[in-house]
Structure 1
Amino acid sequence: MTGMAPTVRTLIVDDDFAVAAVHRGFLESLPDFSVVGEAHLGADALRAVEDLHPDLVLLDIYLPDISGLEVLHRLRARPGPPVDVIAITAARELDTVRSAMAGGVVNYLIKPFTLDVFTDRLNAYLAHRREVRRVAGRANSGALDQDSVDRLLRVRQNPQQARLPKGLSLRTLGLLSSALAEARTDLSAAELGERTGVSRISARRYLEYLVSAGLASVAPRYGAAGRPEHRYRWTGEPAPRSSP
């Protein structure tokens, strides 16, 4: 049962105290996670990992002393058990995302995002963590067979095979992803819905998921009436195919 399992000890790293407090509130709404500390500088984050031994670090990239990417590099170079890292940042440059992925982040969340998106990504991480523990528990003398390795790497090999939020389907995700990629420009949820025959509300849910997965970016555009409209652009490569 979920309630019997130990909580995931989480360290929040963000230079903005208010944003860190929001992330703490998000985490405290999830029973499988506990906050063991906060850090607002990269150097403090490294010390906190050594002192608090978290299972997971929510890591901002833009830090005032050293880059979050440098923090990630040093975490990977330290001896002892590895710590999982989810990047939570406004940084959306392709080189930054690639560097974070090369550094082994388990997910990349672009600010701002909703509680629903945050919850979906943390629950997906939790499911993967539990799968790792199940596979490790079945391994003889710590050795894994090929099937076990393949299961652990499946999400990295194809992010669209990750567990989707409730109500989303891989087929529709592939359809909308392909349409957004082929547009080669930014689209609103309504425009993408018109191109694919999906309702605006449904299109927006899928677009928010793509943003949370690091496959799309979102930016407001202000019209004549002054009301902002969210515009989405494909940032992943290559463009995904719709599932058969």
Structure 2
Amino acid sequence: MTSPEQSGQPDEIAVLVVDDDFMVASIHTRFVDRTAGFRVVGNAATGTAALAEVARLRPDLVLLDVHLPDLSGLDVLRRLRAGGDDVGVIMVTAAREADTVRSAAANGAAHYLVKPFEYDDLRVRLEAFRSAYLALGDSGFAEQGAIDALFVPAGLARRADPPKGLSEPTAALVLAALTEAGELSAAECAAGLGLSRVTARRYLEHFVTTDQAGVRLRYGGGRPERIYLAR
């Protein structure tokens, strides 16, 4: 794996996007390129091409689909690890099977993001990866805080204290409502608790970033609506 300094600007993460759908790959490329500290250095549409591009480009991170026309993304991940390559991998896929998720985790995927998703869903995971990747730096020894950045789930340390502007009592009410309902839109949460839709969405998005909630898109006649899922 290259260091950030070798991949371009200082502290910049070089990314390889792997997806066999050209339009989806283009969207993911745009998402990465609009995220500070990241740049896409290549694309691949097959598992074989992905392995070749990792060897050629030496990226810091691979956005890897599971469903590819030759090898599966899991096969690509296994071959990388078997070859001693510790490149960062975020699975970006429509595959939701529990054994697929477990296999990705067991083979060292940093995150697993289910399609379809919005930009912020990917951004949060990119930023978590970047924080962990840069935590150790080039020093020979690591402090406990840097080690925790690699091994502690991204949202764990932040769960106790909501960000500035969000209150703990309201956060507890929103989380309780979400847990009871199982899933809620921001509008449904707002109506149930007497909050504005914007306020409800801020709290729900906070729970997504701290891994206390998931999100899916509900399609109707117009723009897809974000539905928040209790963990």
What interval of TM-score do these two structures reach, taking the shorter chain for normalisation? 0.7 to 0.9
**2:201 paired residue number:** 204
Q: Which runs of 5+ in 2 are unaligned?
A: none
Aligned equivalent of 1:239: none
2:14 counterpart residue number: 9
State the match for 2:157 in structure 1: 161
Q: Structure 1 residues 235, 187: closer, same or farther in 2, change over 3 A?
A: closer
Size of the aligned set, in residue pairs, is: 222
Q: CA deviation at 1:41?
A: 0.8
Distance across 1 between alignment mates of 2:112 and 2:172: 20
Rounded Cα–Cα distance in structure 1 between residues aligned with 2:10 and 2:102: 33
Instruction: State whether residues 117 and 208 of structure 1, in contact with CA within 8 Å, keep that contact through their aligned partners in structure 2.
Output: no
Deviations 1:119-172 (A, max 9, x none): 333223222222132xx6261xxxx5666534532226xx34369997685946
Query: CA distance change for structure 1 residues 197 and 34 in 2, over 3 Å: closer, same or farther?
Result: same
| 150 and 114 in structure 1: CA distance in 2 versus 1, 3 angstrom threshold | closer
Task: State the partner residue of 1:232.
Answer: 227
CA contact (8 A) 1:120 1:165 kept: no
User: Which residue matches 2:184?
Assistant: 187
Superposition pairs of residues 52-131 of structure 1, within 5 angstroms: 52-80=57-85, 82-131=86-135
The one-letter code sitting in structure 2 at the alignment partner of 1:189 is A
| Counterpart residue type for residue 97 of structure 1 | V
| Structure 1 stretch displaced more, 200-209 or 106-115 | 200-209
Deviations 1:32-67 (A, max 9, x none): 222221111112111211222111001112222222
Q: Which moved more, 1:172-181 or 1:31-40?
A: 172-181
Partner of 1:240: none
CA distance in 2, matches of 1:191, 1:179: 10
Structural RMSD (CA): 3.6
* Cα contact 1:173–1:206 (8 A) shared by 2: yes
User: Conserved in 2, the CA contact under 8 Å of 1:211 and 1:218?
Assistant: no
2:136–2:147 contact (8 Å) kept in structure 1? no
Q: How does 1:209-228 map to 2 (within 5 A)?
A: 215-220=213-218, 222=220, 226-227=221-222
Q: Distance in 2 between matches of 1:132 and 1:59?
A: 24
Residue deviations 1:106-128 (CA, integer Å, cap 9, x gap): 22222233333333332232222
Amino acid at match of 1:40: A
CA contact (8 A) 1:188 1:229 kept: no
Q: Pick closer, same or farther for the CA change 1:100–1:214 going to 2, 3 Å.
A: farther
Distance 2:80 2:212 in 1: 22
Structure 2 counterpart of 1:35, one-letter code: V
Q: 1:201 to 1:19 in 2, by over 3 A?
A: same
Report what 2:49 is aligned to.
44
**SS at 2:179 equivalent:** helix
Q: State the alpha-carbon separation in 2 of the partners of residues 160 and 174 from structure 1.
A: 16
User: TM-score, normalised on structure 2?
Assistant: 0.75
* 2:58 aligned partner, one-letter code: H
Partners of 2:130 and 2:33 lie apart in 1 by: 15
List gaps (5 residues or longer) in structure 1: 237-244
Cα pair 1:109 1:211 within 8 Å, conserved: no
Inter-partner Cα distance in structure 2 for 1:101 and 1:34: 25
